[in-house]
A and B are shown apart, each in its own frame.
Chain A
Amino acid sequence: MRGATHARWAVCAVAAALAATACGGGGDGGGSGDAGAVLSASWGDPQNPLEPSNTNEVQGGKVLDMIFRGLKRYDPETGEAQDMLAEKIETSDSQNFTITVKDGWTFSNGEKITAKSFVDAWNYGAGLRNNQRNAYFFGYIEGYDKVHPEEGEQSADTLSGLKVVDGRTFTVKLTQKFSTFPDTLGYAAFAPLPRAFFEDHAAWVAKPVGNGPYLVDSYAKGSQMSLRRWDDYPGDDKAQNGGVDLRVYTDNNTAYTDLIAGNLDLVDDVPAAQLKNVRNDLGDRYLNTPAGIIQTLAFPFYDEAWNTSGSEKVRKGLSMAIDRDQITKTIFARTRTPATDWTSPVLGKDGGHQAGLCGDACEYHPDEAKKLIQEGGGLPGGRFTLTYNADTGSHKDWIDAVCNSINNALDDERACTGNPVGTFADFRNQITQQKMSGPFRAGWQMDYPLIQNFLQPLYYTDASSNDGKWSDKQFDDLVDRANRETDNAKAVGLFQQAEGVVRDNMAAIPLWYQNGSAGWSDRLSDVKLNPFSVPVYDQIKVS
């Protein structure tokens, strides 16, 4: 026994000694209030190649937000779309837009940003040949059907609706009226691209060049990206720190451990398992604010059983059988907020968020739930399954809780059961092939903070993310009218009416709004999360 322990302690001591010297070498020697100091932050490996129109998830989006600035930018606090590179965007009919680019902006390699920088980038993004995941963002622009046909080869290289007028001006012609189009231009897919992108694409992807407050210093794919402040950045949102080292973590638990041990400055996804310790560990160096993400339960409307007359009563009943308050408290430790409408609080009142729109139907009324479901003809087949993917997130926990809640309300142990699917890819596969036999997990992270983005892609007939294939003439008409409306406030009003149709039919059950969370070391101050739950890196101060 003694021999054994001796050996073990010797090993540990050696490990410690070696590691200590290793740590000592990489000291961070930043003084207090040092504007040149670099911070380290957790990161995940981007799923797709890093190109503005090819990045559709948060991790790649983080980088694009640091190295690119577009025509518009969403205010990190209010989410409001404000002019960035756009001097003015003019329209008289909500269909033809004239965009003037501000003077004096360049890419970090010195190239001037002109109208052509945008037009070329958008043509590239829309082109079918380039396989861009976000190509559909350009779908409203005239000529999209030639550049990105549903089937077959593309018959044109450029969108006919885009025209360069002069160095700083270009026009956009849409196929239909779309009043809030200018406000969508803050999305990363609409970023300008330098010539280097087209001339040496491989080199650009290996080390992207943009026009934002940071430039890429080095990029080791899969492990780390070092971003440094671009000193000649012409915008007024200059970086307040010397740079950011984004480190890829295999597991957000490890990132959190590193933060606690003092090896990492910023974690933007506090793991669920640590939520009960986080106040203790970090005190007020922890942030938990709503993001533009809503979680819902969608229904397979292509299945006869779920699309009978009166089935909206069943859906409403199910909604009433879910104890949102209890679940967000016990399972999510208040990092979710029970939903009372189908948008998100980040939109604000003027943006179209209506707290309480859902009313009674989103509150827990077990007795009424049972009654409503019976009135609506009962559950199809007497019982149903809730499908979800079991590989990421802690979906199993809350799905089981939702089922429990429903079963308790209905006094039936077997009314609802979870139906796990192994991988996200397979889950998406079954959804797109319309194989769902009962409700399934759905989530929506907004592309831009507009009420339009919470409704049209999800509930418009045959829209890109209308996974349940819900279809309602009245809803479609209201959305069309809203898009035609030139007055912003009126457009929002019409969208809200459309949301009322979603409510009356309970097209999907809203569950909760997801919060973004972040924790940071005592070297940092002014840490904020934007409405997309991404840290506003350029405002972070390092001492």
Chain B
Amino acid sequence: MGRYVVRRLLQMIPVFVGATLLIFLMVNVMGDPIAGLCGERRCDPATAAQLKKEFGLDKPVWQQYLTYMGNVFTGDFGTAFNGQEVTELMATAFPVTIRLTVVAILFEIVIGIALGVVTGLRRGRPVDTGVLLLTLVVISVPTFVTGLLLQLLLGVKWGWIRPSVSSAAPLDELILPGLVLASVSLAYVTRLTRTSIAENRRSDYVRTAVAKGLPRHRVITRHLLRNSLIPVVTFIGADIGFLMGGAIVTERIFNIHGVGYQIYQGILRQNTQTVVGFVTVLVLVFLVANLVVDLLYAVLDPRIRYA
């Protein structure tokens, strides 16, 4: 187990380096960031040169990348164009997005798995067909439509919630955005769970458990569900990274000042430091989440062992 974790952690290094280098190159291909900094007017050459020097943009890209990576290991992610430290931006943006992601994941786990179990056990019945149809609708409608529609109905027409999230972004205000963010994944979790449950329902160990006379809820939770969760856990694990990085649309609609917003601003202003910094952290989140998922397999299915 310990050796497995170490090996996985070592594998992360090339992925990490490759991903950041790609982002670095991509942001640099978009052109000279200083050009956009002075608005419709051209920056005067002296100031432009001075700004370039300040942000280290006057050096060749490979050198910028090396300096950047060197700094990252000491916890210095550079400075955004508005003079704020990128770490400062992260300190405000990540807690908000993490809260939003937690809400979304909880929705996926609770509603998604519950619906999946219910429909998996009643395959072909009206409940199953109904939920399947519903998930199809959720998957096919883009998030921004769901988001804007719910915002309009619940926030403006009925006045049940505030249409926008305040800057503190407390958990209760994140419930609707979290649901919207989770909606598509939730539908997938439902479908995955349903298929998996329906498949395993006929397996020998379930039949044995039933034959032993175990109570129905015990058969379902301890035997059936536990074995059926492996694909679902894989999906949810990968989804953590997607949700954090892919919240741009949801965060825009509900005015949440999280990671998606910062990356969007960073791209718009072509602020290398912000974009690369946030993406670097997101890559780490992705890698760690995947590692955790792999380790969870052993918990769910004791037959899986890591030497």
Q: Residues of A with Cβ closer than 8 Å to B?
A: 1-4, 7, 11-12, 14-16, 18-23, 45-49, 56-57, 128-129, 131-133, 135-136, 148-151, 205, 220-224, 247-251, 254-255, 257-258, 260-263, 391-392, 422-432, 442-445, 457, 464-465, 467
Q: What is the predominant secondary structure among interface residues of chain B facing chain A? A: helix
Q: Which residues of B contact A258 (CB under 8 A)?
A: 162-164, 255
Per a CB cutoff under 8 Å, which of A251, A425, A467 touches B253? A251
Q: Which residues of A contact B129 (CB under 8 A)?
A: 1
A465:B261 contact, CB within 8 angstroms: no
What is the chain B residue whose CB lies nearest that of A465?
B41
Q: 21 interchain pairs (CB within 8 A)?
A: A3-B115, A11-B175, A19-B160, A19-B172, A22-B172, A48-B37, A135-B44, A135-B47, A151-B45, A205-B83, A223-B167, A250-B252, A250-B255, A258-B162, A258-B164, A425-B35, A430-B31, A431-B42, A432-B32, A457-B41, A465-B42
B167:A7 contact, CB within 8 angstroms: no
Considering residues B32, B82, B159, which has the most beta carbons from chain A within 10 angstroms of its beta carbon?
B82
Determine how close the nearest CB of chain B comes to the CB of A404; give it in whole angstroms.
Answer: 25
A150:B130 contact, CB within 8 angstroms: no
B156 within 8 A of A: yes
Considering residues A7, A18, A222, which has the most beta carbons from chain B within 10 angstroms of its beta carbon?
A222
B81:A261 contact, CB within 8 angstroms: no
Additional A-B contacts beyond A1-B131, A464-B44 (8; CB < 8 A): A4-B130, A11-B179, A128-B46, A150-B45, A254-B252, A257-B155, A392-B268, A432-B35
B279 within 8 A of A: no
B191 within 8 A of A: no
B252:A251 contact, CB within 8 angstroms: yes
A56:B41 contact, CB within 8 angstroms: yes
Q: Which residues of B contact A14 (CB under 8 A)?
A: 175
Per a CB cutoff under 8 Å, which of A16, A18, A205, A261 touches B163? A261
Q: A56-B39, A57-B39, A223-B257 are in contact. Are A422 and B89 (CB under 8 A)?
A: no
Per a CB cutoff under 8 Å, which of B32, B167, B175, B270 touches A248? B167
B31:A423 contact, CB within 8 angstroms: yes
Determine how close the nearest CB of chain A comes to the CB of B21; give it in whole angstroms.
Answer: 21
Of all A-B residue pairs in the complex, the 9 with the closest CB atoms, nearest first, are A1-B130, A425-B36, A223-B167, A16-B160, A426-B31, A18-B172, A19-B161, A49-B83, A429-B31
B251 within 8 A of A: yes
Per a CB cutoff under 8 Å, which of A22, A262, A424 touches B170? A22
Residues B79-104 near A (CB distance < 8 A): 81-84, 88-89, 92
A250:B257 contact, CB within 8 angstroms: yes
What is the chain B residue whose CB lies nearest that of A254?
B255
Determine how close the nearest CB of chain B comes to the CB of A488; give it in whole angstroms.
Answer: 26
A47:B82 contact, CB within 8 angstroms: yes
Residues B5-46 near A (CB distance < 8 A): 30-33, 35-46
Q: Which residues of B contact A16 (CB under 8 A)?
A: 154, 158, 160-161
Q: Residues of B with Cβ closer than 8 Å to A?
A: 30-33, 35-47, 49-51, 54, 81-84, 88-89, 92, 107, 111, 114-115, 118, 126-127, 129-131, 133-134, 151-152, 154-156, 158-164, 167, 170, 172-173, 175-176, 179, 251-257, 261, 264-265, 267-270
Q: Which residues of B contact A442 (CB under 8 A)?
A: 40
Distance of A475 Cα from B14 Cα, bound (Å): 60
Determine how close the nearest CB of chain B comes to the CB of A174; give it in whole angstroms.
Answer: 18
Q: Which residues of A contact B264 (CB under 8 A)?
A: 250
Considering residues B41, B111, B130, B172, which has the most beta carbons from chain A within 10 angstroms of its beta carbon?
B41
Q: Which residues of A contact B134 (CB under 8 A)?
A: 1, 4
Distance of A423 Cα from B34 Cα, bound (Å): 12
Q: Which residues of B contact A391 (CB under 8 A)?
A: 268
What is the chain A residue whose CB lies nearest that of B270?
A425
What is the chain A residue whose CB lies nearest that of B29?
A426
Q: Which residues of A contact B164 (CB under 8 A)?
A: 249, 254-255, 257-258, 263
B270:A423 contact, CB within 8 angstroms: yes
Distance of A33 Cα from B228 Cα, bound (Å): 64
Per a CB cutoff under 8 Å, which of B36, B40, B126, B176 touches A1? B126
A247:B167 contact, CB within 8 angstroms: yes
A56:B47 contact, CB within 8 angstroms: no
